[in-house]
Amino acid sequence: MIQIVKNGPGPWPEYVVEGTAVIISCHGATMEIDCAARQKDSRVTIDITHGEGSPQPLIEGAASGSYVASLIIPPAKYTDPEAPPAPAPGDEAEEGMGGMFEGGEPAKRIPLAPADMIAVALHLFTLHEDCEARKGA
């Protein structure tokens, strides 16, 4: 399970965790975020807000609507925590220079698994009255 932080008195958006995906919904709008696919070498924060229009969609980033949630995904882990990550394909860094064990074996990224979702945090924000009013618009 993931860490849940409820901000404000509520009501809050609904959420479901399926494997490494977090599905957030409110007012008939739904957004699914695959945490494993979005994980990087540094912490990732995804802000989810209401967009404009009718019905009001959920979008990533700040919008003119209200905040719905923030999803915080921890940095990726590697087989050797002391080794720096190997350069990503297309990086300007020299291939093969980082992420090596002493024997020359590259460090391998450990994919985020459903059991690792305990390190993911979901901050839910109170759905405001103006949000409720737009629900039927």
Q: Is residue 98 part of a domain?
A: no
**pLDDT, tens digit (0-9, with 9 covering 90-100), for 57-88:** 888 987 667 889 999 999 999 887 565 555 55
Q: Is residue 26 part of a domain?
A: yes
Domains: count for the chain:
1
**pLDDT, tens digit (0-9, with 9 covering 90-100), for 40-61:** 999 999 999 987 665 668 889 8
Q: Is residue 127 part of a domain?
A: yes
Question: Strand pairing of 121-125 and 3-7?
Answer: parallel
Sheet with 3-7, side-by-side order of all strands? 3-7, 121-125, 67-73, 44-50, 58-60
Structure confidence at residue 136 (pLDDT):
47
Q: What's the chain's average pLDDT?
A: 81
**Residue span of the structural domain in which 18 resides:** 3-78+107-135
